[in-house]
Structure 1
């Protein structure tokens, strides 16, 4: 007969950060084998599964179920305590039921369901045959309060209320994956809607690998949810405050144009750069600079063309290409419209001797 044991450590709490999964598999197998040495239970194998689960397959040494359940429970508690002290201060542990090897796949699914229904349980051993799923339902009366605190740009007060909500939920029942999914959806929608109302592209602001990891890990437990919420809310408010500072966004756009004026630049590209809707960015830019983005690009190209015409002997068509115009006729017209001179006339009149 076989039984599965599931371990899900909180990775950030690893006291042995240099240990890879292979080393951890070796340590888990050896420590637990030593604890089970004088019993009728043996450790068959240990293997790792993404995104952070260690599976332990135990086997009965006899052709029957192990009889001393009390001793088995005591050993598993000792094992968890050892892991807490030496490697992971925080971990979840669930033990399956004894059955034939054919039932291992179903047992693994049941253990993961048990994990999803007991996210607030840490550093204890839960047994599948004793576990009763909590009868909790998601009900959140804090949404209007969250919206109000965001409007007032008070991220710490919002996060404090979220923490209290999770604490209360844990006291009244148990935090489950289903509850965290609903909570994360509500919080994300509140923040994204608030940013959208202020012309900020939330999907672009949060489009990075670190945020993706926080979003995924937020369903592992209360601490992970609070970490995700903290980054989401603080970053949203901080960016809102950043774009309200005089010349902050326009300086960033100008720096980008100054570095890339030789390339084809689109307003949408600049909007993605600063996470703003293009029309809103255009209004901010014109208010700060007194000219449109397209005219700023033209001015930059004209100034660089002037330098090349007066300080080098490059052919006119080469100057045109260098400042971002592959169409020589268009470059000539644009240059004359902005200087009053054709490129060649400008060179003859102002070139350095």
Structure 2
């Protein structure tokens, strides 16, 4: 049997594992949130400052930061009051203004877009004065309705890492929902990678430390695709189906790559291939990939890598706090 045929059969097995016995035809694909932010038209039409406001769809975070740096406190406050949905979601806007604009959505909310299943990012810790910053990038089934699961993991990581570390729970992309083809393709991850890159660019524009990315399951596909374009100091993947790269060199990043996979994690039964767009490539914990592999023998299941008391949370907190062991 040829190598290609073996790979193709493995890819089909991956599809069956991810798609379940119901098959691909019965599975639906998620609609990626697109289009301008709510309130963009009014924002762009606002000429009261005597200068053009930056276009949320085209302006870089550094351009946004420069725009806000040139405003008075009174002008900034008026923009928060008149255009909260834009100010609250625009990377490059000062953190304190984003908190204020998103205040109705909760405490320390860095972004909030209720369209569709919703996008949200929330901070645990003092982001504006943090020495270290981490971003949690989730896998499937995380949106506004299930966001509390991610915020709890962020709180556990931040508590373990210490007070000078801020952790962003980032549900900032449309994740796969349920069991279906989105889990085995990079379609949603590609958009997620663009959004994650913009987030990290925004942190940089705000003068914050280079972040560590903690990427769970399908979130590691997002992080793998974003890797060449972020300034992350560390990228940590857990329960990963692959990062769409053959090895760390192919990721195109100077970030330190860490990987953890529990022997009790069902992800170990998913073949690590990428053929005809199916599958996500090499196992980041495999010897040939080149990541620093962290012990995870005490992690009881796929969703428990950040559970208090596990060796993985201890190791992740050390990385998040700038003291990897």
User: Could you say which structure has the higher helix fraction?
Assistant: 1
State the TM bucket, normalised to the shorter chain.
under 0.3
TM-score by length of 2: 0.28
